[in-house]
Amino acid sequence: MKRDDIVTELTDDPQIWDFIIIGGGATGLGTAVEAASRGYRTLLLEQHDFAKGTSSRSTKLVHGGVRYLRQGNVSLVLEALRERGLLRRNAPHLVKNQSFIVPNYDWWEGPFYGIGLKIYDKLAGDLGLGPSEHLSKEETLEHIPTLEPDDLDGGIIYHDAQFDDSRLAVNLLQTLFDEGGIGVNYMEVTGLLKANKLVSGVKVEDREGTHRFELQARAVINATGAFTDTIRQMDNPDAPGIIRPSQGVHIVLDGSFQPGESAIMVPKTDDGRVLFAVPWHNRIIVGTTDTPIDEPSLEPRARQEEIDFLLTHAARYLTKDPEPDDVLSVFAGIRPLVARGGNDDTASISRDHTLLIDPSGLVTIAGGKWTTYRKMAEDTIDEAAVVAGLDERESVTENLRLHGWLKNTEAADPFEGYGSDALALKKIASGHPDGNPKLHPHLPYTAAEVIWAVRSEMARTVEDVLARRTRSLLLDARASIEIAEPVARLMADELERDQRWIEQQVKAYTELANGYFLG
């Protein structure tokens, strides 16, 4: 999967693709896998790195969405629970069971949330991950010893799943290649080609240089998340915007703030939202907020009031109050919410997905969530095949094992999240002259992950490696800056880059990561 070879192939050997998919997040990658696995000639173009947008900034839950149940959106919950089950089956190396505790501080909360969660269990049916149960105060504290005990009445335990979002994105990219498709990062779509008023391809710019060229396709699919309207307006400058971007922020704390394997789920915060505190890679992710914003950006930044909100709520539920200095990382993502009928309240806008076909034939897929990417993709390719005038073919992704599929991974294995690729990483590690030591005492990664990321996962920059191939930026932003230089050196060896490149990379990464911690 060498990017340089792919770019040469795209420019020297032009062909008419069945589908060109714009956007390399969950939606675009899922759609590309859907198309390629049906045997269509498929090309995916991402302007920055895969999962650079929202898809590396989620709460990392594969869930039905208890919240949507409260909103009465049963069909959405049903669909998501089914997809949760399929994803656990098709990517067991990345998607794990996660128990959640709803702590009850008022007498009515136990029966109230207990009934709701029993309905949630029922909806999951055979794909359920375990029944919800009431817990006494003592049992609740056994699960989460640092839960605030004052006035605690008891709790409810229920089950959902958790994953590593950008690692799954990388596995989708690899699955795309396994299925005969192509994906390329740092390739921006700058315009649409038209023939007889119908979209017939895209204009692109290679962001690793300034090279511009054109690519033809039978159908072009816009899967650009928060940037959906930009592409739609390339087609029709007067197209009204459909995305109401809303920002969600998380803070990351050391695992000692909430030891044990269970997560906390707070069904209703002061402003009526759901809040999670979830163990992830020996840290705790606390989130999220929901703040409408004007313009989407690839690097959204948390606002002070969002950080204060998360710190205050974490302090309310945990015995040890986190201070700003305890925040190992803070990250923000943008929900690509689709507005219907002028509704501007982001908490009530549909989290369901929207599929649009413009008169020009441009296909747009937006909204939804990570958990439901496969179903979104299936719906999209069903429609897009008709737009493209291609023969219709059955979807196979319900039973398609994703790249890296491995049933029994060992939690203690340093390369656990790589599934079946772990063997290849071990081989790289065993060839390391110093025994492949950890790059930083506070981070679990070694040179092997860096080398593998460049050779097999199309990592092009230090940020690609530290933010998305490994999760260093989210696990400890300060520590990640300290390893930027050794990572740049390892990458430079692989990519044949010079000292100037190393210096530029370290500078660019340091500037970026400085925005991920407080103070």
Of residues 67 and 137, the one with the C-beta less far from ligand FAD: 67
Judged by CB under 6 A, does residue 17 bind ligand FAD? Answer: no
Q: How far is the CB of 63 from ligand FAD (least distance, A)?
A: 6
Q: Which region, judged by CB under 6 A, interacts with ligand FAD, from 48-56, 70-78, 89-97, 430-438?
A: 48-56
Using CA atoms, how far apart are residues 344 and 397, in angstroms rounded to an integer? 35
Q: Is 172 in the site for ligand FAD (CB under 6 A)?
A: no
Is residue 188 close enough to count as binding ligand FAD by CB under 6 A?
yes
Distance CA 516, CA 330 (A): 5
Site for ligand FAD in 235-254 (CB under 6 A): 248
In whole angstroms, what is the distance from residue 318 CA to residue 141 CA? 11
54 binds ligand FAD (CB under 6 A): yes
Residue 225 found at the interface with ligand FAD (CB under 6 A) = yes
Among 155, 201, 322, 333, binds ligand FAD (CB under 6 A): 333
Residue pair 159/98 in contact (Cβ under 8 Å)? The answer is yes
- The single residue among 6, 33, 81, 226 that binds ligand FAD, judged by CB under 6 A, is 226
* Contact residue for ligand FAD among 6, 7, 22, 450 (CB under 6 A): 22
Distance, in Å, from the CA atom of 73 to the CA atom of 252, rounded to the nearest integer, reads 30
Query: Which among 51-59, 213-221, 436-444, 483-491 is the span making contact with ligand FAD, rule CB under 6 A?
Result: 51-59
What's the rounded Cα separation, in Å, for the pair 402 and 420? 10
Q: Considering the rule CB under 6 A, would residue 334 count as an interface residue with ligand FAD?
A: yes
Phi, psi of 464, deg, nearest 5: -55, -45
Residue closer to ligand FAD (CB basis): 47 or 436: 47
Q: How far is the CB of 510 from ligand FAD (least distance, A)?
A: 22
For strand 182-184 and strand 283-287, is the pairing parallel, antiparallel, or unpaired?
A: unpaired
Contact segment (CB under 6 A) with ligand FAD among 26-34, 127-135, 433-441, 503-511 equals 26-34
DSSP codes of every residue in 303-337:
-HHHHHHHHHHHHHHBSSPPPGGG-SEEEEEEE-P
Binds ligand FAD (CB under 6 A): choice among 99, 166, 171, 224: 224
Inter-residue contact 432 to 474 (CB < 8 Å):
no
Among 37, 42, 55, 470, binds ligand FAD (CB under 6 A): 55
Pattern 376-405, ligand FAD, x by CB under 6 A = ------------------------------
CB 317 within 8 A of CB 103: yes
Point out which residues pair with 222 in neighbouring strands: 22, 364
Near ligand FAD in 404-423, by CB under 6 A: none
Residues 60-99 that bind ligand FAD (CB under 6 A): 60-61
H or E segment at 157?
strand 154-162
The secondary element (H helix, E strand) that includes residue 355 is strand 353-357
What is the number of the residue whose Cβ is closest to ligand FAD?
25
Side chain identity at residue 104, one-letter code: N
In the complex, the smallest distance separating the C-beta of residue 275 from ligand FAD, rounded to whole angstroms, is 12
CA angle at residue 229 from 226 to 232, to 5 degrees? 135
Q: Considering the rule CB under 6 A, would residue 26 count as an interface residue with ligand FAD?
A: yes
User: What DSSP assignment string belongs to 463-510?
Assistant: HIIIIIIS-HHHH-HHHHHHTHHHHHHHHHHHHT--HHHHHHHHHHHH
Q: Residue 5, SS3?
A: helix
Residue 371, interface with ligand FAD (CB under 6 A)?
yes
Per rule CB under 6 A, count of chain residues that contact ligand FAD: 38
Taking the complex as a whole, the smallest distance from the CB of residue 165 to ligand FAD amounts, in Å, to 7
Q: Which residues make up the interface to ligand FAD (CB under 6 A)?
A: 22-28, 45-48, 52-55, 57-61, 188-189, 223-227, 248, 288, 298, 333-336, 368-371
